[in-house]
Amino acid sequence: MTDTLANADSETPNHQTVRVDLGRRSYDIVIGRDVLETAGIRIAALKPGARAAIITDETVGKLHLDRFRDILNAAGIQSVALTIPAGEASKRFEMFERLCDEVLAARMERGDIVLALGGGVVGDLSGFVAASVRRGMSFIQVPTTLLAQVDSSVGGKTGINSRHGKNLIGAFYQPDLVLCDTSILDTLPLRDFRAGYAEVAKYGLLGDADFFSWLESNWKAVFAGGTERDEAVARSCQAKADVVAEDEQEAGRRALLNLGHTFGHALESAVAYETERLVHGEGVAIGMMLAHEFSRRLDLLPQEGVDRVEHHLLDVGLPTKISDIPGQMPPAETLMDIIAQDKKVSRGNLTFILTRGIGSAFVEKGVDPILVRDFLTEKLAS
Amino acid sequence: MTDTLANADSETPNHQTVRVDLGRRSYDIVIGRDVLETAGIRIAALKPGARAAIITDETVGKLHLDRFRDILNAAGIQSVALTIPAGEASKRFEMFERLCDEVLAARMERGDIVLALGGGVVGDLSGFVAASVRRGMSFIQVPTTLLAQVDSSVGGKTGINSRHGKNLIGAFYQPDLVLCDTSILDTLPLRDFRAGYAEVAKYGLLGDADFFSWLESNWKAVFAGGTERDEAVARSCQAKADVVAEDEQEAGRRALLNLGHTFGHALESAVAYETERLVHGEGVAIGMMLAHEFSRRLDLLPQEGVDRVEHHLLDVGLPTKISDIPGQMPPAETLMDIIAQDKKVSRGNLTFILTRGIGSAFVEKGVDPILVRDFLTEKLAS
């Protein structure tokens, strides 16, 4: 096995590995162009003799499933493929039940693998299936969107949506391996790439001013697909891995990763998750702007900081204002209701991620809801 | 808080505490008559300010819900009650979905409590709900059957059934507190008490010959409800807690707890979980007899050991033979298929818990399926 893996690594010298350090649940994220080609030997080395239930969606399946199964097959890994409809609507109970049932029908055992081939929806849903079937099977992720590579595939948050809100049912469950093939992103629609990029920028904004500066200079190369893209994915994964290793269950510091997300989720919910109007990363982009503007309102950072964020998000083509969302938005009171039902609420106080400048975000647990409502009222009118 | 709890303990000197040692997920099991009366102050001390979603079934609810809510209320704990139909059929997806939804509809937050008031079905289902809503709420168990007190409430196994088998979907999730009120068992039907007692006897048989001898002498007092009952519950919980602390995820030694369960589950499945014919503990009793007889067949223990087990199970009124189950049983091949789909299968080899004598069970991973089939064929004919 060691020989085979050594070969894989010597043939692919440009692949980077980020280690997520969680004790005996630690795992590697392998990042680079054509990482997919090494999937078979890497998985066979990690889980000798295991079979795989590949969960993918119709869109990704058409593009990558046959090739991927060939790669697994060449390494002696038997697989079954379970395909779900593309889109957020698949993150629901019926689909969770169907997939659990199909994995069991394929006679998968506890040591076998649930393998997510797709974006965040496929990853979140598959992870909850992997966590739940036989109280925990092996789980491997092959994220095929930038968003999934830098966000959903790191940190073990899995789950489905409820009619009460997004991601309200799920598990903390760590994968055994994540393979981020950055060349797969070449076929990603520009809008989806941009949306994922919002999360990349977030890692700079929340804790790494140097990375944000680097992105200001190099974002075009990241979009074009050079080694800068690999670098951006690796630094993002490393940033998230560092936070998650410190705080796996989101008791404290991990909340920083929610920069832009409380506002962003409220906006997504307000448009009923209609992706024609708003996708997650766009909500995060607007949410990050709102978090910086709200922090400015509280005199926490200078206007120059807010301007730099806006300038960069506009450069890459991301929305920055609530009014960038097509169609009518609900009043501030409705957004506040959504925020109150958000899982980042603790006993009635609002928790927000605020910032003292680029790379200096912090968790503020006692934010006055009145201030937020007034701020949103004003932003909705502008 | 300390004062209040000290009062609780000084007023109730006969309550015993078993600590389940799992690092920062450690928790206490409090055992004794009228422990329920102390539930409010204990929970308020452990989770100040938290609200509770009490999940119970119609049978238990009628007997204990009003009093229990009064006890919580007196300690300032707000609660909502969610009632499910009694019986194994409630351990299914639709009920899991309904309860998750109702807990969210009650606006429960991550620090609030899912509280299971009932037997194994309520506990298993509620635990999976607690594990899944907001990716993990607080979880407290008040088991109301002997089986739940000595088995389901220790060890963190939660879950629901699938059409492919029992407990195939779920999570490992630890409670924050377990309250075993042994006086509640006074109202338990005799058949259910006996079924739970099979698991009590199991702890003796798997690893504690002295405890089994003690049960042979004291089982009548355990049934009658004296301090011997508290002692039996506490020793059982301690035995399970010791095993679970060593091996939370069932990688090795924890499998010992399955003594009698591979056969027992197969029998339960063969009668389609019709509890008129067979309840879990009865399946375990017959399964333990089969495990001892099969071990005898392999010359692992003397006939005297088998006879002692049979004698004790007959004494307390438990079934010991497959033919004790009313109605027709399927052929051995069908039982073997069920065993093969059981989660204790590893890559085609059968894992069984065998024994070298009273208190000397061990895990055997390479059992020849042919031997088991022939043994079952013979037992089905006798």
Contacts of residue B299, defined as CB under 8 A and 6 or more positions apart, other chains included, come to: none
Give the mean model confidence (pLDDT) for residues B303-314: 98
Assign 3-class secondary structure to chain A. CHHHHHHHHHHCCCCEEEEECCHHHCEEEEEECCHHHHHHHHHHHHCCCCCEEEEEEHHHHHHHHHHHHHHHHHCCCCEEEEEECCCHHHCCHHHHHHHHHHHHHCCCCCCCEEEEEECHHHHHHHHHHHHHECCCCEEEEEECCHHHHHHHCCCCEEEEEECCEEEEEEEECCCCEEEEEHHHHHHCCHHHHHHHHHHHHHHHHHHCHHHHHHHHHHHHHHHHCCHHHHHHHHHHHHHHHHHHHHCCCCCCHHHHHHCCHHHHHHHHHHCCCCCCCCCHHHHHHHHHHHHHHHHHHCCCCCHHHHHHHHHHHHHHCCCCCHHHCCCCCCCHHHHHHHHHHCCCCECCEEEEEEECCCCCEEEEEEECHHHHHHHHHHHHHC
Rounded Cα–Cα distance for residues B36 and B274 (Å): 31
Residue B142 near residue B39 (C-beta atoms within 8 A): yes
pLDDT at B22: 87
More confident residue, A247 or A211: A211
Quote the pLDDT of residue B366. Answer: 87
- pLDDT band with cut points at 50, 70 and 90 for residue B90: very high
Cβ-defined contact of B49 to A249 (cutoff 8 Å)? no
Do B193 and B223 form a contact (C-beta atoms < 8 A)?
yes
The pLDDT of residue A3 is 41
CA B87 to each of CA A335, B124, B170, B285: distance values in angstroms, whole numbers, following the listed order: 42, 12, 18, 20
- Which positions in chain B touch A49 (Cβ < 8 Å)? 347
Is residue A190 exposed (0-12), middle (13-18) or buried (19+ Cβ within 10 Å)? Answer: exposed
Asked if A181 and A33 touch (Cβ cutoff 8 Å), the reply is: yes
In the numeric block, which tokens belong to residue B122? Answer: 């309520």
Rounded average pLDDT over B199-205: 98
DSSP state of B273: T
First-last CA distance in chain A: 61
What was the pLDDT predicted at A1? 37
User: In this complex, which of A135, A162, A347 lies closest to B157 when CB atoms are compared?
Assistant: A135
pLDDT tens digits along B134-190:
999 999 999 999 999 998 878 899 999 999 888 999 999 999 999 999 999 999 999
Mean pLDDT of A287-293: 98
Task: Tell me the residue type at B64.
Answer: H
CA distance B118 to chain A (A): 22
- In words, the CATH class of domain A3-186 is alpha beta
Residue B24 in contact with partner chain A when CB distance is under 8 A: no
Using an 8 Å CB-CB cutoff, list chain B residues near A170: 132, 135
Mean residue pLDDT across chain B? 92
Residue A8's pLDDT is: 53
> Does B332 score more than 60 pLDDT?
yes
Average pLDDT over residues A282-308: 97
Given a cut of 80, is residue B215 above it in pLDDT?
yes
Tell me which residue in B133, B162, B343 faces A168 most closely, judged by beta carbons: B133
Helix (H, G, I), strand (E, B) or coil at B83: strand
Residue A136 to residue B171, Cβ atoms within 8 A: yes
The interface residues of chain B toward chain A in range 201-260, judged by CB-CB distance below 8 A, are 249
Inter-chain touch B172–A136, beta carbons under 8 Å: yes
For this structure, is B254 an active site residue? yes
How confident is the model over A227-237, as pLDDT tens digits?
A: 999 999 999 99
Whether A365 and chain B come into contact, CB under 8 Å, resolves to: no
Q: How far is B187 from chain A (nearest CA, A)?
A: 33
- A199 and A284 Cβ atoms separated by less than 8 Å: yes
- What pairing do the DSSP bridges indicate for beta strands A165-172 and A157-162? antiparallel
Residues A344/A255, Cβ–Cβ less than 8 Å: yes
Q: Write down the catalytic residue from B250, B274, B310, B364.
A: B250
Tell whether the model's pLDDT for residue B342 goes beyond 80.
no
Band (pLDDT 50/70/90 cuts) for residue B351 is confident
Substitution target from A169, A338, A341, A342 for chain B, most B beta carbons within 10 A: A169
**Is A12's pLDDT higher than 60?**
no
**CB of A24 less than 8 A from some CB of B:** no
The answer to whether A49 contacts chain B (CB < 8 Å) is yes
What band does B245 get if pLDDT is binned at 50, 70 and 90?
confident
pLDDT score recorded for residue B348: 63
Could you check whether A3-186 and A190-381 share the same CATH topology? no
Interface size A-B, in CB pairs within 8 Å, comes to 84
In this complex, the residue of B159, B171, B345 whose CB is nearest that of residue A109 is B345
Range with the poorest average pLDDT among A24-28, A310-314, A358-362, B29-33: A24-28
pLDDT for position A251:
60
Question: Is B190-381 CATH 1.20.1090.10?
Answer: yes
Question: Which H or E run includes B287?
Answer: helix B280-297
Burial class (CB in 10 A: 0-12, 13-18, 19+), A227: middle
- When pLDDT is cut at 50, 70 and 90, the band that residue B35 belongs to is very high
pTM of the complete model:
0.89
Q: What is the average per-residue pLDDT within B8-26?
A: 79
The span from the CA of A100 to the CA of A128, in Å, is 9
Checking if the pLDDT of A347 tops 70, the result is no
Q: Domain limits of chain B? A: 3-186, 190-381
pLDDT for A254 beyond 70: yes
Q: Which residue has the higher pLDDT, B11 or A361?
A: A361
C-alpha distances (whole Å) from B239 to each of A320, B222, B245, B370 are: 59, 17, 10, 33
Which two structure tokens, joined as six digits, stand for A140?
Answer: 């491997």
| Distance between start and end Cα atoms, chain B | 61
Give percent of chain B above pLDDT 90.
80
Q: Does position B86 have pLDDT exceeding 50, yes or no?
A: yes
pLDDT at position B3: 41
pLDDT value of residue A235: 97
Instruction: Report pLDDT for B16.
Output: 94
Q: Which of A64-68, A130-134, B65-69, B273-277 has the lowest mean pLDDT?
A: B273-277
**How does DSSP classify residue B133?**
B
CB contact under 8 A, B104 and A162: yes
pLDDT digits (tens, 9 = 90+) for A102-116: 999 999 999 999 999
Q: Between the CA atoms of B17, B136, B36 and B229, what dihedral angle is there, to the nearest 10 degrees?
A: -50
Residue A176: pLDDT above 90?
Answer: yes
Q: Give the span between the Cα atoms of A311 and B24, in whole angstroms.
A: 45
CA distance B265 to B310: 19
Q: Does residue A5 have a pLDDT over 60? A: no
B277 touches chain A (CB under 8 A): no
For residue A31, the model assigns a pLDDT of: 97
pLDDT tens-digit profile of A116-169?
A: 999 999 999 999 999 999 999 999 999 999 999 999 878 899 999 999 888 999
Residue among B258, B268, B293, B312 flagged as catalytic: B258
